[in-house]
Chain A
Amino acid sequence: MENIKITTTLDTSGKCCPMPMVEANRAIKALAVGDVLEIVATDIATRTDIPSWCNRLGYTLLSLSEQDDVLRYYVRKDS
């Protein structure tokens, strides 16, 4: 985590499917290749949605953490 340089943070706390993924798509489109998007989520569906999304669209899930029901994903835009 210490080595990840976050470009921007998207906080989807409280929101449920489809909004975290809709907003994540919107946020990552605004980034350049190599940038890192931190996604904060409380929707447990993101546990499967975000890794699958990364695999499908060519992003790299650098790390994820969970504390007190808050999930944090660090996604690098590789393409």
Chain B
Amino acid sequence: MKSLAIVVRDDSYDKILTPLAFAYLTAAEGVQVDMLFVNWAVKALTADGAASLCIDGRHAVDEAKVREGVAKAGLPTDIYEVIKALKSTGNVNFYACSLAAAIFGVSQDNIISEASGIVGAAWFLNEKAAKADHYQYF
């Protein structure tokens, strides 16, 4: 596999870990990873949004235990730090969906510098997802 495209929709702390871990794993091997953040997950591409991610619903009571497990696994517990680690591989591009950005309050003013920008879903689906060796949706 030379390229991987991932669309991330779920924004709870526990659920966003999986696509980030998959991206980290493959990027470390030299795979080009392109990630599009849609819906509420687009907030993860802002410093405040990344910091505010938490575990929703029936698993919320286990948040401290989950964060402890993440640290034990060797990952940063802060999602923004995970994003920085992925970026440092040199193989991951983060994109904010333009529709999600408009709805959920992400702009050029607050998007993190690690992100490659705010893009249209059509561009991502045609230029990244359709051309990738593998495509995942979370």
Contact = CB atoms under 8 A, between A and B. Distances in A.
Interface of A: 12, 14-19, 21-23, 25-26, 53, 56-57
A74 B25 CA distance: 20
B24 A22 contact: yes
B21 interface: yes
B74 interface: yes
A22 B25 contact: yes
Interface string B16-41: 00000110110011100000000000
A19 B72 contact: no
A57 to B, nearest CB: 7
B73 A16 contact: yes
10 contacts: A12-B74, A15-B72, A15-B73, A15-B74, A16-B73, A17-B73, A18-B24, A19-B73, A21-B25, A26-B28
Contacts of A12: 74
A49 B22 CA distance: 13
B74 A21 contact: no
A15 B72 CA distance: 6
A21 B72 contact: no
Nearest to A20: B74
